[in-house]
């Protein structure tokens, strides 16, 4: 793993950007403390900072091809590199290193951009063709590794982190209005958008080419669900738990990191427990390390007990004879770390699970682990989130005449009774109401908070529809899952995981996003995934792999007492930060966060999540080098 940076000139006579490149690499040094490499040529300056995982002794980058006409920098791992290397050697290619990523360079020589369809791995890469004076960059299918770009006038700039682009002269620091609105809908900015108008992401499964100063971006793959019913010519065994189990074992085996110490992030739930179980089985019983983060019960936490999963995780660790490293975090620990956590995220992502992940990867680094394994991905691929239960309600309510539903909705509103949300959503298209797994402020709440004319100016519903694309052939469940695969997974979950782990110089691997598992999930009909609860076929596949007490346990995950803290130990701090006359978001929110702090007890759980989104943005803006005062243009004057 590493961080990469590239500056490619739009005109041949453009000056060298060596000084700027070195600054970019300096600010990303945490991504690669083991080494550094760069090349400065007419037309391009490119470099990397390296975290050595594979071919530790001789895998430095940039890597050149045989005749020194192409150079590669790559942040990532290629898990099928051994098989690719054998084929390429048979075709006459000569390798200079044992690095897994060198296969990309030779494969690109043979196939051009079509090489991306042959790679199994996680990566953000750049290849410079010195003969054509052209640059090729690409990002892995699911978006595990990040890649940003900006137009800085004389050059196109690319980097693994947004902060490496922000420091460049020529990068405007204005906030993008529509991205700000999207943040308040999703708690992150989706797809190519960042909060900076002038900085964009290369989207997952996309590549870009810069030739004669012109940037062109294209997709090489997109997630596509199969019909909800089994095709006539399909076989039941094509969608069997056995086939999924085999794919999972293969993915875990392929992603072993034998040259360094590694650990599993263990919650005690199904996904992480299965990782530990499969790693032990594949290694022949070799001792493993498991890391668990738990929270002290908050002062206002009521009877909730799921803030600590140590008991469950310890049972799993004992079952598989793993060394179990446990960290217990209290409200003060988390608050003291919060500004650094938000800085390490690089861009505002209001996901409370960044907090336990930050402590877990710090513990991994302290215990000499360069790689950690996470169970991310199965919930998105196999409908593991509770929000997907809305599909069942939508299907049931569709049988009720629309006029009756409208009358019922009016009555519920008039009486102030619950149920208005689900009835109201049944009267809308999914594109108009679904905000994904992490959805936060509703359109009405955004209108009140931001004082905007949402009905006219709010781009979020149209944005959601464009992200889903043409979905007429998909079931409601598939449409919801597709939205999350395109947004929540890469732009929240994976972005958070990469930035937080790399802040501690630790690589995070996600075996469940192996292409074989992804393809299996996309081709599986709804009834294989959902039966009133998600991940049906996953539980079937893991029967006999994990203990029965794990299979029976309801989904928990890394629960964070964020609402309890914000209405307890953190409240004074949060009020002072958000309601200060000097707050960066003062002009945006005014005094309106008061209403969230004053939420009645029954509504504090949700109000806390909304406040955390406001606090995350405020703390991020305080650390961001905005050159001028900013004012969103849609604010009512």
- DSSP per residue over 213-247, as a string? TEEEEEES----PPPSS--TT--GGGG-HHHHHHH
SS3 400: coil
CA 330 to chain centre: 26
- Of the ranges 215-219, 299-303, 620-624, which is most confident? 215-219
Note whether 577 and 615 are within 8 A (CB): yes
Q: In sequence order, which ranges of 571-631 are alpha helices (DSSP H)?
A: 571-579, 586-589, 593-597, 604-623
- What's the CA gap between 617 and 629, in Å, rounded? 16
Note whether 570 and 335 are within 8 A (CB): yes
Nearest alpha carbon to residue 586 among 595, 577, 596: 577
CA 421 to chain centre: 28
Which residues fall within 8 angstroms of residue 601, CB to CB, at 6 or more apart?
Answer: none
Can you give the pLDDT at residue 472?
67
Nearest alpha carbon to residue 264 among 121, 364, 384, 377: 364
Query: Residue 362 belongs to what H/E stretch?
Result: helix 354-366
Cα separation values, 458 from 177, 463, 613, Å: 10, 9, 18
Domains with residue ranges and CATH for the chain: 2-219 (3.60.20.10)
Which residues fall within 8 angstroms of residue 442, CB to CB, at 6 or more apart?
Answer: none
DSSP letters for 8-39:
EESSTTPPP-HHHHHHHHHHTGGG-BTEEEEE
- What's the CA gap between 149 and 201, in Å, rounded? 6
Tokens at 220, concatenated: 């090489």
Q: How confident is the model at residue 312 (pLDDT cuts 50, 70, 90)?
A: confident
Can you give the pLDDT at residue 627?
40
Tokens at 349, concatenated: 């992502």
Q: What is the mean pLDDT of residues 295-310?
A: 69
Residue with tokens 């964009």: 200
Note whether 302 and 276 are within 8 A (CB): no
Summarised one tens digit per residue, pLDDT across range 25-71 is: 999 999 988 889 999 999 999 999 988 776 666 668 899 999 999 99
**pTM of the entire structure?**
0.92
Task: Examine the pLDDT at 413 and tell me if it is beyond 60.
Answer: yes
Note whether 123 and 74 are within 8 A (CB): yes
Tokens at 165, concatenated: 């682009």
Supply the DSSP symbol for 546.
Answer: B
Q: What is the mean pLDDT of residues 331-343?
A: 96
- Strand segments (E) across 273-322: 289-295
Percentage of the chain lying above the pLDDT 70 cut = 89
- What's the CA gap between 521 and 529, in Å, rounded? 8
Name the percent of the chain in helix, strand, coil, to the closest 5.
45, 15, 40
Q: What is the mean pLDDT of residues 325-334?
A: 95
Task: Examine the pLDDT at 13 and tell me if it is beyond 70.
Answer: no
Q: What is the mean pLDDT of residues 101-119?
A: 95
Supply the DSSP symbol for 601.
Answer: G
């Amino acid at each position: 793993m590493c961080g990469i940076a590239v500056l490619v000139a739009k005109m041949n006579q453009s000056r060298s950007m060596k000084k700027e490149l070195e600054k970019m690499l300096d600010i990303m040094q945490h991504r690669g403390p083991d080494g550094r490499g760069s090349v400065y040529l007419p037309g391009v300056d490119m470099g990397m900072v390296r975290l050595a995982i594979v071919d530790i002794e001789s895998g430095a980058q940039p890597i050149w091809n045989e005749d020194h006409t192409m150079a590669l920098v790559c942040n990532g791992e290629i898990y099928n590199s051994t098989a690719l290397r054998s084929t390429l050697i048979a075709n006459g290619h000569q390798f200079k290193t044992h690095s897994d990523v060198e296969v990309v360079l030779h494969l690109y020589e043979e196939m051009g951009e079509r090489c991306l369809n042959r790679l199994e791995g996680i990566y953000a890469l750049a290849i410079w063709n010195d003969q054509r004076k052209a640059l090729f960059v690409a990002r892995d299918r699911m978006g595990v590794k990040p890649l940003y770009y900006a137009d800085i006038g004389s050059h196109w700039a690319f980097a693994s982190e947004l902060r490496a682009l922000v420091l460049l002269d020529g990068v405007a620091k204005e906030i993008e209005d529509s991205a700000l609105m999207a943040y308040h809908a999703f708690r992150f900015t989706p797809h190519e958008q960042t909060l900076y108008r002038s900085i964009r992401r290369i989207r997952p499964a996309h590549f870009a080419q810069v030739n004669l100063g012109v940037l062109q971006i294209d997709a090489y793959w997109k997630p596509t669900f199969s019909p909800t019913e089994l095709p006539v010519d399909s076989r039941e065994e094509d969608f069997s738990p056995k086939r999924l189990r085999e794919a999972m074992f293969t993915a875990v085996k392929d992603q072993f990191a034998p040259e360094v110490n590694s650990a599993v992030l263990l919650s005690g739930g199904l996904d992480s427990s299965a990782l530990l179980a499969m790693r032990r089985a594949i290694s022949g019983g070799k001792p493993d390390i498991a890391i668990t983060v738990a929270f002290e019960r908050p002062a206002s936490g009521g009877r909730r007990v799921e803030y600590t999963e140590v008991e469950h995780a310890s049972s799993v660790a004992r079952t598989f004879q793993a060394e179990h490293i446990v960290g217990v975090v209290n409200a003060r620990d988390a608050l003291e770390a919060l500004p650094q956590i938000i800085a390490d995220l690089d861009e505002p992502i209001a996901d409370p699970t960044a907090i336990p992940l930050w402590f877990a990867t710090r513990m991994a680094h302290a215990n000499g682990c360069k790689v950690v394994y996470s169970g991310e991905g199965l919930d998105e691929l196999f409908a593991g989130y509770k929000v997907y239960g809305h599909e069942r309600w939508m299907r049931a309510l569709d049988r009720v005449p629309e006029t009756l539903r409208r009358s019922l909705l009016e009555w519920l509103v008039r009486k102030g009774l619950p149920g208005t949300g689900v009835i109201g959503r049944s009267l809308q298209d999914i594109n108009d109401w679904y905000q994904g797994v992490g959805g936060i402020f509703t359109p009405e709440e955004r209108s009140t908070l931001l004082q905007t004319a949402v009905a006219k100016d709010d781009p979020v519903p149209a944005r959601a529809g464009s992200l889903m694309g043409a979905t007429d052939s998909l079931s409601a469940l598939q449409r919801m899952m597709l939205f999350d695969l395109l947004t929540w997974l890469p732009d929240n979950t994976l972005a958070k995981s990469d930035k937080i782990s790399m802040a501690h110089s630790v690589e995070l691997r996600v075996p469940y996003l192996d292409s074989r598992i992804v393809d299996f999930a996309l081709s599986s009909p709804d009834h294989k995934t959902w039966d009133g609860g998600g991940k049906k076929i996953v539980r079937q596949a893991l029967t006999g792999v994990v203990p029965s007490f794990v299979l029976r346990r309801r989904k928990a995950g890394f629960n964070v007492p964020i609402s309890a803290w914000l209405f307890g130990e953190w409240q004074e701090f949060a009020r002072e930060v958000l309601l200060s006359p000097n707050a960066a978001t003062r002009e945006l929110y005014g005094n309106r966060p008061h209403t969230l702090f004053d939420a009645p007890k029954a509504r504090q759980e949700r109000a806390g999540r909304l406040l955390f989104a406001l606090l995350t943005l405020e703390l991020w803006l305080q650390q961001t080098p905005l050159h001028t005062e900013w004012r969103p243009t849609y604010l009512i004057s």
